[in-house]
Amino acid sequence: MDLDGERVDLEGALELEGKVALVTGGASGIGEAAARLLAASGARVAVVDRDEVGARRVADEVGGSAHATDVSAPTAMAEAVAAAEERFGRLDVVLLNAGMTSGQNGVTDLDVEGYRRIVGVNVDHVVFGVAAAVPALRRAGGGVVVATASLAGLMPHPGDPLYTLTKHAVVGYVRAAAPALAAEGIRLAAVCPGYTDTALIANARAEFGDFPLLGAEDVAAAIMAVVGTGGPGECWFVQPGREPGPYGFRGVPGPAGGRRAPEVTWEQH
């Protein structure tokens, strides 16, 4: 795998030559690494980030486009999708990668503004992003949406309960929304990386000592594998030294007698 402009061939992967991808949080870290891999695989990439300078830098380097916006705003993702379609004529792959930590305990010292902010970026942006992407992917005849969750979406992270809450929400949303979209040829999945050496942990980097960390490129490679072969609703774990793959969720006990729960559509009354 080469990040310096050479074509990247992933065995069994979706053919990306001529496809169009949109990446949020694409100005740095995992998003930047993923944007570079997507471009190296033949895709044209729309880089979306609040950091306009960074987004433009990455877009220029991969021959893509830049769109600066706050992804938590209700109309931001629809505008970013529209801009990508206008520039490139279609949309095939969407990586909803933008995210943040809370910087607070969230239990004994709840800062409401900070809480609203992390929910906006980590959860709302994924919901808005899927809602905005689906019509464009339908127009393209199908496609893939990958949300960047976290191991904190599969297990508790006591150091940041609010971050854990948001990533559990992303995992649950992806698993529940995926089946209906799969029937339309749209695959919705998630990646759940462990601790990754990016700006999110920069302030605590020294505390990790010799604990093995993922690199942004490691997570980007896992994202590419999900784009290529990931199944609907799958949430892939990514850990240092291990082959990424779909997490095996344990089923919950059903009612006695083996009866299956009905598929219920909730209505407001």
| pLDDT for res 262 | 76
With contact defined as beta carbons under 8 Å apart, do 148 and 191 qualify? yes
| pLDDT for res 2 | 36
Which residues are annotated as catalytic?
Answer: 163
32: alpha, beta or left? (left if phi > 0; alpha if psi -120 to 50): alpha
CB-based contacts of 183, cutoff 8 Å, min separation 6: none
Domain ranges of the chain: 20-246
The dihedral formed by the CA atoms of 125, 130, 131 and 134, expressed in degrees to the nearest 10: 150
Residue 71, judged by CB atoms within 10 A of its CB (0-12, 13-18, 19+), counts as buried
Residue 183, judged by CB atoms within 10 A of its CB (0-12, 13-18, 19+), counts as exposed
Cα separation of 233 and 252, whole Å?
17
| pLDDT for res 249 | 95
3 state DSSP class of 36: helix
Cα separation of 50 and 244, whole Å?
29
Of 173, 171, 162, whose CA–CA distance to 115 is shortest?
162
Q: Write the single-letter amino acid at 209.
A: G
Cα separation of 269 and 255, whole Å?
27
Query: Which residues of the chain fall below pLDDT 70?
Result: 1-13, 198-211, 265-269
| pLDDT for res 204 | 63
CATH number corresponding to 20-246 = 3.40.50.720
| pLDDT for res 223 | 97
